[in-house]
């Protein structure tokens, strides 16, 4: 299958690969997996006291599209508020990377990773 | 006619693989092309179609994971075409660790040890799945199937490593 240029670019030069300390209160961690293909994605957001995402890192085990989707998302969410990041839709990711229909689930995975991370942050700051 | 009915078996997870194979061979013989050598074009076509259906049913039922998925499908839960994500942090963290371990495997011994560990984990999950299916805990069973798909992926990755 032919990957789009943007997918190849993110795949060959993934942005923001790595990890933060998940026990740090300012760090939100989202873990998601796609049963259909066995891909696993970890997305971490560094969120300041004003609810702005200052930094993001990811680690993904999966195909090129899954890696590109998570790499793209780390770029997109930086500087956004939690609320803005939560609005990100998988269709935007799929469109930007020109994902074919069989790879749409990779963009869904990335969207769900953001949501899972925000959920984790809210749980951490429930009190 | 569903796959179980085709083999005249109850729609249960527990299944004797040797018995299934025997039933498969018997049915296969009744559909053998030689038996239709003098038959009409329509009979030949039908036999080909039935053979394809039989093979499909056999491949589905002999594989525990596919069999479980098929039972849930009969109960109205379609997992084959779902695009939902799994959000079980503990399980996914273990998956990440598995992937890291696989990436760092150097020699046969390490690959072998990993395959053994993986087999143990998969077997535990599979016996859980078996209980859930028998107890008609369909949602829980669906989750176990999803997890087993990740384990299967790990197995493929390990097999690729050992080639």
Q: Which CATH class is domain B89-162?
A: mainly alpha
Query: Any catalytic annotation for residue A63?
Result: no
Cβ–Cβ below 8 Å for A36 and B83: yes
Task: Tell me if B3-62 shares its fold with B89-162.
Answer: no
Q: What are phi and psi of A43, to 5 degrees?
A: -120, 130
What pLDDT does B45 receive? 87
pLDDT score for A1: 58
Catalytic residue among A106, A108, A110, A116: A106
Residues of B contacting chain A (CB within 8 angstroms):
79, 82-89, 91-93, 95-96, 99, 145-147, 149-150, 152-154, 156
* Of A8, A12, A86, A6, residue with least CA distance to A43: A86
DSSP B85: P
Nearest C-alpha neighbor of A65 from the set A32, A29, A109: A109
Residues of A in contact with B92 (CB under 8 A): 31-33, 40, 42
Determine the residue of chain A that is closest to B93 in CA distance: A31
Q: Chain A residue with minimal CA distance to B83?
A: A105
B79, B93, B149 member nearest A38 (Cβ): B149
Instruction: Give the C-alpha separation, B98 to B76, whole Å.
Output: 33
Q: How many CB atoms lie within 10 A of CB A103?
A: 23
Query: In the predicted model, is pLDDT for residue A7 greater than 70?
Result: yes
For residue range A77-101, list pLDDT tens digits in order: 999 999 999 999 999 999 999 999 9
Exposed, middle or buried: residue B160 (CB in 10 Å: 0-12, 13-18, 19+)? exposed
- pLDDT, tens only, B116-152: 999 999 999 999 999 999 999 999 999 999 999 999 9
pLDDT of B79: 86
CB–CB contact B95 A104 (8 Å): no
Low-confidence ranges of chain B (pLDDT < 70): none
Domain range annotation of chain A: 3-117
Domain A3-117: which CATH number of 3.40.50.300, 3.90.1010.10, 2.60.40.10, 3.90.1580.10? 3.90.1010.10
Percent of chain A with pLDDT over 90: 83
Tokens found for residue A26: 């300012």
CA distance, residue B145 to nearest chain A CA (Å):
9
Distances (CA, A) of A79 to B62, B96, B115: 52, 28, 43
Q: Using an 8 Å Cβ cutoff, are A94 and A65 in contact? A: no
User: What share of chain A has pLDDT > 70, as a percent?
Assistant: 98
Establish whether A106 is a catalytic residue.
yes
Chain A nearest C-alpha distance from B5 (Å): 28
Q: Write out pLDDT tens, residues A42-55.
A: 999 999 999 999 99
- Each domain of chain B, given as residue ranges in start order, spans 3-62, 89-162
User: Average pLDDT, whole number, for chain A?
Assistant: 93
The class of domain B3-62 in CATH terms is mainly alpha
Q: Which of B83, B92, B152 sits opposite A33 (nearest CB)?
A: B92
Integer angstrom CA distances of residue B40 from B47, B48, B52, B55: 11, 13, 19, 23
- pTM attached to this predicted model: 0.84
ipTM passes above 0.85 = no
Tell me how far apart the alpha carbons of residues B34 and A88 are, in angstroms, rounded to a whole number.
60
């Amino acid at each position: 299958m032919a990957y789009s240029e943007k997918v190849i670019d993110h795949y060959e030069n993934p942005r923001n690969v790595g990890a933060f300390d998940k026990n740090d209160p300012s760090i939100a961690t989202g873990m998601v997996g796609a049963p259909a293909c066995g891909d696993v994605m970890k997305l971490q957001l560094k969120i300041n006291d004003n609810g702005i995402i200052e930094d993001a890192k990811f680690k993904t085990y999966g195909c090129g599209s899954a890696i590109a989707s998570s790499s793209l998302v780390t770029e997109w969410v930086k500087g956004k508020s939690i609320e803005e990041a939560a609005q990100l839709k998988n269709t935007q990711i799929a469109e930007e990377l020109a994902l074919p229909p069989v790879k749409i689930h990779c963009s869904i995975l990335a969207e769900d990773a953001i949501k899972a991370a925000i959920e984790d942050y809210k749980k951490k700051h429930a009190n | 006619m569903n796959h179980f009915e085709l083999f005249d078996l109850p729609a249960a997870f527990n299944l004797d693989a040797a018995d299934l194979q025997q039933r498969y061979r018997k049915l296969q013989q009744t559909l053998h092309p030689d038996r239709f050598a003098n038959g009409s074009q329509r009979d030949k076509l039908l036999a080909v179609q039935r053979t394809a259906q039989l093979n499909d049913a056999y491949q589905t039922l002999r594989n525990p994971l596919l069999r479980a998925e098929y039972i849930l499908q009969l109960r109205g839960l379609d997992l084959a075409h779902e695009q939902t994500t799994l959000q079980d942090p503990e399980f996914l963290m273990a998956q990440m660790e598995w992937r890291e371990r696989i990436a760092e495997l150097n020699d046969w011994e390490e690959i072998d040890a990993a395959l053994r560990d993986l087999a143990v984990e998969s077997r535990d999950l599979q016996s859980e799945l078996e209980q859930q299916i028998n107890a008609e805990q369909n949602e829980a069973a669906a989750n176990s199937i999803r997890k087993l798909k990740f384990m299967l992926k790990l197995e493929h990755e390990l097999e690729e490593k050992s080639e």
